[in-house]
Amino acid sequence: MAVDLHLHSVFSDGSETPRAIIDLAVRAGLTAIALTDHDTLDGVAEAAAAAAAAGLTFVPGTELSVDWTTGPMHLLAYFLEPGTGPLQDRLEDIQAGRARRNEQIVARLRSLGFDLSLEEVAAEAGGRGVGRPHFAAVLLRKGYVADLRQAFDRYLAAGRPGYVNRERLDAITAIRLARASGAVPVIAHPHTLGITAADYTAAFEQLAAAGLGGIEAHYAEYRPEMRQHLAAVCRRLGIAATGGSDFHGTYKPGLQVGSGHGDLAVPDEALEELRGAAEPGAQVPRDQAR
Ligand code: AMP
Ligand code: ZN
Ligand code: FE
Ligand code: FE
């Protein structure tokens, strides 16, 4: 049996509603899912209700972009409940920073000669959270790029002319805020840290000491050897080896709920380990064979 702990809905930059994602998860035969929309918990209520009706275990979450010494890091915060709390209270500031950044992206793209407005991008996002994939979709619809990837490669990715940085929490602060809010912080898709596997261990040890609860080992883009390697690193550190598809619907073509590119199967144990990492001071069993 399998789970999928990394999913985006229309409440950030996914194309499907939480309800539709639950349907897809049921059809994929999953036992549990987590919703991890960027910077928001707004989809959690709908997802929780749909999951309960479908008999599926549901974990609320969000995905934050934070700063680490080597650059940006994506941090998943699991078991983060909507409402108030140390991390929840920061989400509004983060969303405001995103809104300011989005206005600046529009200005950049217009100065590059593209006819596009924030209203059009907001409409693409359905009136909810606007992310770069929505800019990419508008550029595609207007014929400025051949596909979504080209929109990032040419204009929207870091270092490209339509890219605008935004303020981020630093990783250690975000980890502490997540823990103070009863959430479990987990590093998403660790390859995007831009460090070699040899440097992972020192970084992960430092972050685990600060409260990191897990690493996304079972990621759709990883080959089986990489998934096993990262899971072994997690066992050594006594943190959870989690995983998910990073499904975004049509905004990331080719990824399915549960199975990713077809070969993903995040074991049920990933959720058990994540629950273990939620216990105050508790750790998942360390690898005895170390
Ligand atoms: P944002 O949070 O608005 O900065 O957008 C980040 C999202 O854009 C990521 O979660 C991905 O869905 C998408 N994204 C970022 N970089 C790329 C890329 N190089 N190619 C395709 N999608 C990307
Ligand atoms: Zn996204
Ligand atoms: Fe991410
Ligand atoms: Fe994601």
Tally of CA atoms within 13 A in the half-sphere of 22 that contains its CB: 21
- With a Cβ cut-off of 6 Å, ligand 1 is lined by 13, 38, 131-133, 149, 152, 157, 248, 252
The residue assigned the tokens 């989690």 is 242
Query: How far apart are alpha carbons 187 and 242 in whole angstroms?
Result: 9
This prediction's pTM: 0.95
Q: Measure 131 CA to ligand 2 centroid, in angstroms.
A: 7
Q: Measure 132 CA to ligand 1 centroid, in angstroms.
A: 6
Q: Which ligand is nearest to the CA of 245?
A: 4
What are the residues whose beta carbons fall under 8 Å from the beta carbon of 191, sequence distance 6 or more? 219, 221, 222, 226
The residue assigned the tokens 């549960």 is 258
Residues with CB under 5 A from ligand 2 (ion): 8, 13
What is the tens place of the pLDDT at every residue in 32-51? 999 999 999 999 999 999 99
What is the tens place of the pLDDT at every residue in 222-259? 999 999 999 999 999 999 999 999 999 999 999 999 99
Q: Which ligand is nearest to the CA of 244?
A: 4
Cβ–Cβ < 8 Å for 85, 185:
no
Torsional sign, CA 25, 248, 255, 200 = negative
For residue 18, give the amino acid letter. P
Q: Which ligand is nearest to the CA of 13?
A: 2
Q: Which atom of ligand 1 lies nearest, measured to the CA of 38?
A: 2
Give residue 283's pLDDT.
52
Give residue 202's pLDDT.
86
Look at residue 59 and give its three-state secondary structure: strand
Give residue 281's pLDDT.
56
Question: Which of the listed residues 132, 152, 192, 248 should we mutate to test ligand 1's pocket, taking the one with most ligand atoms within 8 A of CB?
Answer: 132
> In order along the chain (290 residues), what is the average pLDDT of each group of 10 residues?
97 98 98 98 98 98 95 96 98 96 98 98 94 98 98 97 96 98 97 81 93 97 94 96 98 97 98 91 47
